[in-house]
Amino acid sequence: MIAISCTVAFIAISAAMLLCLYRVLVGPDMPTRILALDTLTINAIALVVLIGIYWNTGLYFEAALLFAMVGFLTTVAYCKYILRGNVME
Amino acid sequence: MSGFGEIAVSALICLGAFFLFVGSFGLAKLPDLMRRLHGPTKATTLGIGALLIASMLYFILEDEIVSLHELLITTFLFLTAPVTALMVAKAHILLDKEDQEKLPPTGREVGWSVLDAPQTHEAKKS
Amino acid sequence: MLKTLLPHPLLTLLIVLMWILLSGFSVGSAAFGLILGVAIPRLTSAYWPDRTRIGSPLTIVEYALIVLWDIVVANFQVAYLILFRRGDDLHSQFVTIPLDLRTPEAITALAGTITMTPGTVSASLSADGRALLVHCLETNDPEQTVAGIKSRYESRLQRIFET
């Protein structure tokens, strides 16, 4: 039963990632693309956690944590670049 | 694993996947950026939250390991999601001339901090 | 003496707890977490001179439960709006929330809460930090939204941070 719901979730999250990819490609402006990239990272975290459940291993949590941190930092860096013209002041 | 635990884990996984999908769907469907912002910031946090609770429950029931890494990821995402949303909104307001005209007045003698220079700490004291 | 050694006791506690959660509980990790918990607040205290005051833990627990409940409700509301309404029909608009809160920590908490709860995203702060710009996804009565946020979250935060 868990395997079935995992499969359903894999499909739903993959579809969600495709929708995000559509927004990254189409735009129309820079902040939208940044938001779409951020959502893409969050979906990737979900996928990593789900693979951990599916294969019954706790090895992937560090990967999910790293995704969360790097995703947050890149989003903030992009926005900072738009707002201030550079990242480090 | 008992039948009840299995049902609970499956339900949480499906709920999480549903909210993640709705968040990305809102991002793709809604017409302008400020509206698009609502989908990902809300739907994805509960989506990830439900998935991580499911994962925690699964490892407790299946392997009898209490893994607390999930709690850490959830806390981190709940703390960072508002910050990302705020930064994206500020970038949008700075770039979009149409939305700048739609902003309501601040009710103070200064404007919004994105467009108006923020007052420094010294200036506020004097 | 104690104040120079531990400028932010709560931050120290939080860092130790985080480190133990991150690396699993053992004597070694607890000791290293303690070293980090003492070193980081001391190294960063120059940028953060004022000590944050926190009210009673009970009010914080009450606030956290209310916000968690609102997050769950908000998710269902926003999911309904996204799935069953045309994007152009949504009555979205910006509203201004005049702030009674003064400490930066309290304003940060309020802005974060607003972003996580029903159909609202905080978008900017006025240049003097006394008003918050909020975008509502679906609202017919902006005044009521503002009053709701002020009575539900701001008054509680005022009790937590500014008693």
Residue of A8, A23, A42, A60 best to disrupt the B interface, most CBs of B under 10 A: A42
pLDDT, tens digit (0-9, with 9 covering 90-100), for A2-19: 888 889 999 999 999 999
| Interface size, chain B vs chain C, as Cβ–Cβ contacts under 8 Å | 134
Contacts of C18 in chain B (CB under 8 A): 72
Contact A15 B21 (CB under 8 A): yes
Residue A61 vs residue B111, higher pLDDT: A61
Query: Residue ranges per domain, chain B?
Result: 3-97
Q: What ipTM was assigned to the predicted interfaces of this complex?
A: 0.87
Residue A76: CB atoms within 10 Å: 19
Give the total residue count for chain C.
Answer: 163
CB A35 within 8 A of CB B23: no
CB C137 within 8 A of CB C94: no
Buried b (16+ CB within 10 A) or exposed e, B28-63: bbbebbbbbbbbbbbbbbbbbbbbbbbbbbbbeeee
Query: What is the residue type of C76?
Result: F
At residue C163, the pLDDT reads: 66
Tokens describing residue A8? 């359903």
Q: Is B42 on the interface with A (CB under 8 A)?
A: no
Task: Give C65: exposed, middle or buried? Use CB within 10 Å, 0-12, 13-18, 19+.
Answer: exposed
A43-47, B28-32, B106-110 — which is least confidently predicted? B106-110
Distance CA B70, CA A61 (A): 7
Tokens describing residue B59? 């490892």
Mean pLDDT of C61-86: 86
Tokens describing residue B23? 């968040």
In terms of CA atoms, which chain B residue is nearest residue C122? Answer: B86
- Residue B112, pLDDT above cutoff 80: no
Backbone angles phi, psi at C98, to 5 degrees: -70, 135
Contact A49 B88 (CB under 8 A): no
pLDDT, tens digit (0-9, with 9 covering 90-100), for C2-33: 666 777 778 888 888 888 888 877 888 888 88
Q: Which domains does chain C have, with CATH numbers?
A: 2-47 (no CATH), 57-161 (3.30.70)
At residue A89, the pLDDT reads: 65
DSSP letters of A14-63? HHHHHHHHHHHHH-SSHHHHHHHHHHHHHHHHHHHHHHHHHTT-STTHHH
At residue A12, the pLDDT reads: 92
Tokens describing residue B1? 């694993």
